[in-house]
Structure 1
Amino acid sequence: MSEKVSDDRLENAETRDPAIKTIMQNAGTAQAQHYSPKTDEEKALDKRLNRKLDWIVLSLLAVEFIFCGIDKTNVGFVATSSFPKDANLGPDDIPNSLSLFSVTYVILQPVMVILARRVGVKYFISFQLILWGGLCMAHAGVNGSGSLTALRLLIGAAEAGFTQIGMFYLSTMYPKYSVGFRAGMFTGMYSIAGAFAGLIAFGLLKINNGPVHGWQVVFLLEGGVTVLLGILSFFIFPKSLATAWFLTPEEREHAVRRMEIDLAGTQEEADVNNRTVSKQDIMDVLKDWKKILTVVFNITTVLPVTAFTTFLPLVVAGMGYKGTTATLMSVPRLSPALRLGVAGLLIIVYSSDRFRERSLHTVLGMVIGLIGLIVMAASTNTKLRYGFAHVCMSGVFVGGPLIAVWLAGNTPWKGSRSVILGINGWSNLAGVIAGQIFKSKYAPRYETPLFITMGIMAFGALGLIFIRIMYMLENKRRAAEIAAWDEDRFIEESNSLERRGDQRRTFIYGY
């Protein structure tokens, strides 16, 4: 470990600028700066603040994510009703529309996150929910493949970036080693969305009241609830921690202070109460090869999630379970595998916050997934293969939220943070890859797709370890460089116009 900043210089810094002393002390140890409550009184205040944020911000975001999933998948659930006949659709129109949804949904991810940053997350999420909720309701008027195609393209555009916008918003509300568990709670709602979508559709499809068909009721009700959530978001979500209506003055002051500490001295006047995203913000991200590679490796962590949430019924059927039995053993509301996946997610993300570590926890989840895949591909025992599907799912849900908060924590400049989280949304390309791997010609055991998935995951795990090592070496290099700095040099660096955010030599990366 590099030499720490000398005690004499730290003592001198304290008499001139306590904030600079904190930066010097942290930089000298090559340990990532983060907020942690010190006294019992501060711990109680911090706990009270987190509880309010959890109940008001996180819970509403989670409910909205459930309806994001519902509105995304409800076309598939009504496909077994009279919808195709009533709407004059051909046999391939519905699956084609589901594919077209992904076109606008994936491509527009970065654009939407950047727009949310510029407009303000509070306002943008409200508009986004009202827009896609209205488009969902418009599905009740589908009359032919043209209108269905147009609506799926539009709703894909409207929902684009919602997950990453939610991640960005949470990263501005909670310190970096408190947000991981909350991000896991947020993203874990997607599996619950599948359960709710199926149950709601099952009940509403039974409604046929004169000219109104059950499938029209599904679209109207689910879209209407989403519009309502958008309206609630406008009145409930705070514009910032400093203006949060549900916090006391003491809690607001503490909320702002702990985020300033968490930013490790990189918070600047140009980034306070500023919602712009400049060309420099974009170029800073595109030049940061470690973060871009992290996004690439994130595709390998998301791949098994998208593959199994879509193709698990086929894989289970290949184990010897037939027809509705295979489906019932795979849908989220009944499948122990998917329930265990969410449980595994929450345990690992909690541990990641507790031990202030991201990369190895992500790799741990991938290794657990690999163990499950190996047995599923190699064993001929039906019960054993099904059992290890549970093992696989308990690990693979971890990568998405942990990599998002890892990127956010290492990008203190919020303009650049919105850009990298938007680009991280392109990890949804994993769904396209999964569709090309799990072809029907590999049925019934799907051994080849399972082995291909294993290879991709192993490559990604090694890649994340490589990124971790690169960050460790960079931290060591920075610590060695600034070991001889005096306070004036630290002040000069804090006011540098050449380097911003994590580019500052005093910023220490988390890994």
Structure 2
Amino acid sequence: MAWRIGLFYCAAPLSGAFGGLLASGLARISVDGYNKWPWIFFIEGAVTVIYGIICLFFMPHNPGHAKFLSDEEKKITMAHLKRDFHGATAEEDVDRETFDWHWVRMAFASPNLWMTSLVWFFVLIPLYSFSLFLPTIISALGYTTLHTQLLTVPPNFCSFVCVLLTTWYSDKLKVRGPVILAGSLVAIVGYIMLLASHAPGVRYGGTFFVAVGVFICSPAVMAWLSNNTSPHYVRATAAGFQVAFANCAAFVATFSYLKKDAPDYVLGHSINIGALVLAIVTTSLGIMYNTWENRKRDRGDRDHRLNENQSRLGHRHPHYRYTI
């Protein structure tokens, strides 16, 4: 799960890397009164819209509808989806699963939804502020605009590689919370370097720690909730709410780096350290809750739920084990 989400999510740091290169070139265009930076929005925005329209027609509803898979491959992928229910509803046909408000209520009753949503909210404060203000932070070190855009590439590319490595390793170890803890600590080290030193080289090195730390947290927290909610409509509801709630962090991130705080940006760096500390606390609570709940199920303390309709238990099924 983390590897698949990582493959999707690593587009974020990769786009940051290419964004710096593109911006350095597009900002040189001057046509019909539109000079430099507007062309970044025109061209990158147009590419995004066109590709979005293409995806609308070509992305399948589920693997069973994928035209690029053979009949045998469709059968295998749909069987994987059934197994993903951890045996709780394996006899049901995933392709015919219908919406029921019962699944929505189950999603919002899950402690994992609220804990991971808070964790991701706290992680996205530094991630968004980093993505938005990395050029500002680097330019404050004394570099020219063009040089600044080019220097945004290495930290983003480094985080792209680390996202792939950590998501693969997260699946290998079958853990999510410890990855988030490690990423948050690494990012805190980066912000301390930005705060404590006035040497441009040390501060620039700190941006690598921040980039790696915050970017590896996001796919881990997305996978954590996906692993701990089931079946499909519960997971879809939970994931949708998690994304909507966590993205509200942009309201904080947008105003964390103010022009009057240049060049040290003590307030912005401090806000991000505080957010990461809260992410560590919330992640630790999530690890403790899931460990406690798994032990309850191991002891048979949740077996009374077997008297209910087992096809509607989802992640509440006594045989379901939460990922730590």
TM range (shorter): 0.7 to 0.9
- Structure 2 counterpart of 1:454: 273
Distance 1:451 1:271, change over 3 A: farther
- Structure 2 counterpart of 1:506: 319
The structural deviation recorded for 1:375 is: 1.7
The structural deviation recorded for 1:261 is: 2.3
CA distance in 1, matches of 2:154, 2:44: 29
CA distance in 2, matches of 1:394, 1:374: 15
Contact 1:204/1:218, CA 8 A, preserved across alignment: no
Contact 1:263/1:412, CA 8 A, preserved across alignment: yes
CA distance in 2, matches of 1:217, 1:352: 36
Q: 2:148 aligns with which of 310, 324, 327?
A: 327
Runs of at least 5 residues in structure 1 that lack an aligned partner in the other structure: 1-178
Contact 1:411/1:417, CA 8 A, preserved across alignment: yes
- Structure 2 counterpart of 1:343: 161
- Structure 2 counterpart of 1:432: 251
Report which stretch shifted further, 303-312 or 286-295: 286-295
- Structure 1 counterpart of 2:122: 300
1:142-178 deviation per Cα after TM superposition (whole angstroms, max 9, x unaligned): xxxxxxxxxxxxxxxxxxxxxxxxxxxxxxxxxxxxx
Q: Does 1:317 align with 2:116?
A: no
Distance 1:225 1:458, change over 3 A: closer
Amino acid in the other structure paired with 1:183: I
- Structure 2 counterpart of 1:355: 173
CA distance in 2, matches of 1:368, 1:243: 42
What are the within-5 Å matches in structure 2 for residues 35-114 of structure 1? none
Amino acid in the other structure paired with 1:191: P
- Structure 1 counterpart of 2:220: 402
Distance 1:212 1:438, change over 3 A: closer
What are the within-5 Å matches in structure 2 for residues 130-169 of structure 1? none
Amino acid in the other structure paired with 2:50: V
CA distance in 1, matches of 2:261, 2:44: 39
CA distance in 1, matches of 2:187, 2:44: 37
Higher relative contact order (CA 8 A, sep 6+): 2
Amino acid in the other structure paired with 1:474: E
Contact 2:24/2:149, CA 8 A, preserved across alignment: no
What are the within-5 Å matches in structure 2 for residues 352-431 of structure 1? 352-425=170-243, 426-431=245-250
The structural deviation recorded for 1:282 is: 2.5
Contact 2:83/2:90, CA 8 A, preserved across alignment: no
Runs of at least 5 residues in structure 2 that lack an aligned partner in the other structure: none
Amino acid in the other structure paired with 2:282: G
Distance 1:228 1:361, change over 3 A: closer
Contact 2:180/2:221, CA 8 A, preserved across alignment: yes
Amino acid in the other structure paired with 1:185: L
Q: What is the SS of the residue equivalent to 1:273?
A: helix
- Structure 2 counterpart of 1:478: 297
CA distance in 1, matches of 2:64, 2:93: 14
Q: Give the paired residue count.
A: 321
CA distance in 2, matches of 1:252, 1:338: 36
CA distance in 2, matches of 1:434, 1:198: 24
Contact 1:358/1:403, CA 8 A, preserved across alignment: yes
Report which stretch shifted further, 284-293 or 361-370: 284-293
- Structure 2 counterpart of 1:83: none
- Structure 2 counterpart of 1:227: 50
Contact 2:119/2:221, CA 8 A, preserved across alignment: no
1:296-344 deviation per Cα after TM superposition (whole angstroms, max 9, x unaligned): 12111122111111112222233x324426623543xxx3222212222
The structural deviation recorded for 1:212 is: 11
Contact 1:282/1:419, CA 8 A, preserved across alignment: yes
Amino acid in the other structure paired with 2:145: T
The structural deviation recorded for 1:459 is: 1.7
Which structure has the bigger radius of gyration? 1
TM-score (norm 1): 0.56
Q: Does 1:290 align with 2:112?
A: yes
Contact 1:482/1:506, CA 8 A, preserved across alignment: no
Contact 2:128/2:250, CA 8 A, preserved across alignment: yes
